[in-house]
A = this chain, B = another copy of it.
Amino acid sequence: MTKQELITQIQQKKSFLCIGLDVDLTKIPKHLQNHDDPIFEFNKQIIDATHHLAVAYKPNIAFYEAYGIKGWSALKKTIDYINRNYPEIFTIADAKRGDIGNTSTRYAKAFFEDLNFNSVTAAPYMGADSIEPFLAFKNKFTILLALTSNKGALDFQGLKTTRGDELYKEVIKTSLTWKNSENLMFVIGATKAAYFKTIRAIIPNHFLLVPGVGAQGGSLKEVCQYGLTKDCGLLVNSSRGIIYAGTDQNFALNAQKEALKLQQEMEIILNENN
């Protein structure tokens, strides 16, 4: 998918909602538990009920790996289902990978080719040659961890270097010098809405994937105040707040209601901004 196709989708749906498919078998409705593939069935129903309100789905790979081959199979069925039925949707493998050069190429192939995701999240600690293999894939996006939304985020990301910037800014600035850096997007946690202004001064146009709205306490309005660009430039993720909105036969309908609330907030914000 091209960046322009993502932007067009955002304009058509009046939404920049990403739904996190972090499926925990202990949290899905009881009536699905005896299904052949409860994880996939849960995802399928959530996707069918919300695809017109969301522009992206983001399975966190940990939730699938935790179930071994069964989980990996459910992940493959899920991404295949999205690609076949809703090809306009932007798909994100939230994998936070990063390894030595030729090994990163392996991960890139796993997510971009074998599974056919549009994008993958990656961790910057190992530097240029751990990320450039991902960036080499055309019309695929690498979403680099910059400022995350967890409690320990600032343990290292917040360390100021002798060059004058905190590590997360060094990561963003340095990554812009890498080959094919136009294929970069960045993870910026919404619990730090105040940081968006500084970040937009460094990367005025790159898309930001924003977790932490809702369950983790971030405010959509604050994020948009500083984070929005003329092309939107934001993908705001909600996982638990949507997919576990209901616990019975109506779980997909409840998820749809929660997604609709966020989409409507987003529509107002987008209208206000152009």
List residues of A whose CB falls within 8 A of some B CB: 22, 60, 62-63, 65-69, 72-73, 76, 96-101, 103-104, 106-107, 109-110, 114-115, 123-130, 145, 148-157, 159-163, 167, 170-171, 174
Contacts and interface: CB of A to CB of B under 8 A. Distances in A.
Copies in the complex: 2
Contact of A170 (B76, B125, B159): B159
A73 B69 CA distance: 7
Give 10 closest A-B pairs by Cβ, nearest first. Answer: A127-B152, A127-B155, A128-B152, A62-B106, A65-B110, A129-B152, A66-B106, A100-B150, A159-B161, A68-B114
Interface centre among A65, A109, A124 (most CB of B within 10 A): A65
Given A67-B114, A76-B69, A170-B159, A126 B148 contact: yes
A73 B73 CA distance: 11
A225 B62 CA distance: 39
Contacts of A60: 99, 103, 106
Given A63-B103, A100-B149, A107-B62, A125 B157 contact: yes
Contact of A167 (B101, B129, B145, B156): B156
Nearest to A159: B161
A109 B151 CA distance: 21
Nearest to A132: B152
A188 to B, nearest CB: 13
Nearest to A146: B125
A73 B123 CA distance: 26
Given A96-B123, A107-B66, A160-B161, A155 B167 contact: no
Given A60-B106, A123-B123, A128-B152, 6 more contacts: A62-B99, A68-B72, A68-B110, A72-B72, A96-B126, A100-B148
B101 A151 contact: yes
B162 A104 contact: no
A63 B145 contact: no
B72 A69 contact: yes
A93 to B, nearest CB: 10
Contacts of A153: 126-127
13 contacts: A66-B106, A96-B126, A101-B150, A126-B157, A127-B150, A128-B152, A128-B155, A129-B151, A156-B170, A156-B174, A160-B161, A162-B162, A167-B167
